[in-house]
Structure 1
Amino acid sequence: MADPRLFLEALSALSGCNVQATDGPSLLNPQDFVNIVALTEFYKQEGLQELDYPSVGTLSLQDLDEEDIYNSPPALAEGPATAGPEETLRTRVKINPEDFFHHEFDYDFTNVQDVGATFLRGDERYIRPCGWNRVALRVVQKYDGGDGWLGEGKDAWPVSFCCHNMDGDHGVILTHGGSPNDEPSFLDAAAASVFTGAMRGRGLYSTPDIKMAEKYCKTFKSKVDGKRYKVVLQNRINPEKRLKCQQEEVWLVYVPEGCSDVQTRTIVQESIRPYGLLLKQV
């Protein structure tokens, strides 16, 4: 297993927070991190500059675009720190690694090659993250309804990977299913697409293709070993909430116009669940 401090650096890069270890209770759980990542990208699409998140406060979306902000905080454990100006401005978030990670289910795909192999999750093809090292997140028995969403059978949710800085041109909706098409705002947008020729997706982007995720992932330089890493969240996506786009490897969770911050956060929580933190040395 890699140095545990590296995992906290990766979470810092993903969230824009200064993530540190604690022996006490975690301030955020894995679902909170995927919420922050997804909402950050969505609000940036909407042209907003800040994200307010419970237990964290206000996060600047402008700062997340600066390369320096991806550099990890120098102190990843409790105690005195000699943080630089970027780190001291970032919100400090403490997590308990024992409660947050589930190392029993870690899997190192670094030297794995799936040539000719086909894997399925929820009747959808699963492209395993070959070349990456996956650190498992503690999500078993954390959601109502059991752990079927995390399995391999027909009731399992398909696998998706979070993307960073995808614009609306990627999200031209081709098909839709499940509850989003019952929303009046969704129907209005669909009707408008008859005149525009395409409906650019307003919502939360992810992809079932790790190669596309790698093109749109975050990177950071580790203060633990001085190396650069790419980092991606591996998730399961609710098939009833996911829309397939014209670009085959792009999936969208639609967010209707007029949703409040609470409603938007609820859509994320009902649609995307994380279970792995992926790292790859650049």
Structure 2
Amino acid sequence: MAVDKFVLAEGLSALLGVAVKLQSEVSDSDGAVKLDVTSLPTIALLGYEALTELLLSPVSYLTWLLAGWFIGDQPQTSQETRKKENTSSSLRKVLFVIPDEFFDPQYDFDFTHMSKSSSDSDCKRGDESYERPYGWKRFALKVRDKYPDGNAWLGTGGWRNHSDPGEWPVSYHGTGLEGAEGIIKTHYKTGDREAYGRGIYSTPDIDVADGYSQSKRFTSQKNGKTYKVIMQNRVNPKKRTIIEGKNFWLIPIPKGTSAEKEKEIVESSIRPYGLLLKEV
């Protein structure tokens, strides 16, 4: 799977809505901040406005890294809005990744020329059916041994049909805030962001995620090709709600939850472990 790491950084940029570069491409003048793989759930799944509160308090610099998948209105005055916009514009500059620390190529897999078969229903992750991302190339993130609760959530490496004890099931999403607005209009009562509950949505169906990946296309400056990008996640089954008939999973986050608590909920509930690319 010959894809330049520069292209993977561009894919992260498209997902997060903020410039992501390789370490070798940043300079002191960029004001770049390192993107750690364990901070990716917070960045990708919490909306920018939801974490801006943390910019104004003495919390780790990682709390300002975010990009728009959080669903839920948070009313604020125009003065507060301006204050947050000014703060975010001054801090939200460039992120950088160290490829050897962020990506884990030994677990990359090319599903491009594979198709569904009758044996797919036998493939399990978290004791639930796992729909492989056929048609996509998966670039693994280096998440093994990165979380304090161990690696059971990820299962053992390598190709297998069975599920391991303590493993979490797989979900996908290919959207940022723009796509979430589309989900609201399509599957929610118009204007009501809490029709199914407030929180983080993803889907176990790669085709559903693909339908919401349109806003996450990018044309690489490296090779001129256009790609769609989706994240592959593991979801804690004890912390999700299944939206029956809609093929969505919800990580509930009650209204009024503090930004710090939201971050804690996300990191213990849903963890990206693969970046999926499809050339279009």
TM-score, structure 1 length as denominator?
0.72
User: Which residue in the other structure is 2:82 paired with?
Assistant: none
For residue 54 of structure 1, report the CA deviation from its aligned partner. 3.0
- Give per-residue Cα distances to partners, 1:231-252, cap 9 Å, x unaligned: 0110100001110003341000
Choose from 170, 178, 181 the match for 1:159: 170
- Give per-residue Cα distances to partners, 1:47-67, cap 9 Å, x unaligned: x99995834747686xxxxxx
What amino acid maps onto 1:16 in structure 2? G
Q: Do structure 1's residue 39 and structure 2's residue 40 form an aligned pair?
A: no
User: Which residue in the other structure is 2:129 paired with?
Assistant: 125
Give the fraction of aligned pairs with identical amino acids, expressed as a percent. 40
Sort the Cα spacing of 1:141 and 1:57 in 2 relative to 1 into closer, same or farther, 3 A: closer
User: Which residue in the other structure is 1:5 paired with?
Assistant: 6
User: Which residue in the other structure is 2:243 paired with?
Assistant: 245
Choose from 205, 208, 232 the match for 2:204: 208
Unpaired segments ≥5 residues, structure 2:
27-31, 69-89, 156-162, 189-193
Choose from 97, 100, 124 the match for 1:98: 100
1:99-114 correspondence to structure 2 within 5 Å? 99-114=101-116
Kindly tell me the number of residue pairs found equivalent between the two proteins.
Answer: 228
- Whether the 8 Å CA contact 1:163–1:207 is kept in 2: the answer is no
What amino acid maps onto 1:233 in structure 2? M
Instruction: Give the Cα separation in 1 of the matches to 2:234 and 2:117.
Output: 23
- Give per-residue Cα distances to partners, 1:166-185, cap 9 Å, x unaligned: 3347777xxxxxxxxxxxxx
User: Which residue in the other structure is 2:73 paired with?
Assistant: none
User: Which residue in the other structure is 1:73 paired with?
Assistant: none
What amino acid maps onto 1:220 in structure 2? F
Instruction: Give the Cα separation in 2 of the matches to 1:89 and 1:269.
Output: 23
Q: Secondary structure at the match of 1:150?
A: coil
Sort the Cα spacing of 1:247 and 1:270 in 2 relative to 1 into closer, same or farther, 3 A: same
User: Which residue in the other structure is 2:231 paired with?
Assistant: 233
Instruction: Give the Cα separation in 1 of the matches to 2:186 and 2:243.
Output: 8
- Whether the 8 Å CA contact 2:38–2:146 is kept in 1: the answer is no
Q: Do structure 1's residue 54 and structure 2's residue 57 form an aligned pair?
A: no
1:57-68 correspondence to structure 2 within 5 Å? 57=64
Task: Name the structure where helix makes up a greater proportion of residues.
Answer: 2
- Give per-residue Cα distances to partners, 1:154-202, cap 9 Å, x unaligned: 4210001124223347777xxxxxxxxxxxxxxxxxxxxxxxxx95221
For residue 106 of structure 1, report the CA deviation from its aligned partner. 0.5
Instruction: Give the Cα separation in 1 of the matches to 2:129 and 2:33.
Output: 34
The RMSD of aligned alpha carbons is 3.1
- Give per-residue Cα distances to partners, 1:29-71, cap 9 Å, x unaligned: 2232232221128x5xx8x99995834747686xxxxxxxxxx
TM-score, structure 2 length as denominator?
0.73
Q: Do structure 1's residue 139 and structure 2's residue 116 form an aligned pair?
A: no
- Whether the 8 Å CA contact 2:54–2:259 is kept in 1: the answer is no
User: Which residue in the other structure is 2:158 paired with?
Assistant: none
Instruction: Give the Cα separation in 2 of the matches to 1:199 and 1:142.
Output: 35
For residue 100 of structure 1, report the CA deviation from its aligned partner. 0.4
What amino acid maps onto 2:233 in structure 1? N
- Whether the 8 Å CA contact 1:132–1:280 is kept in 2: the answer is yes
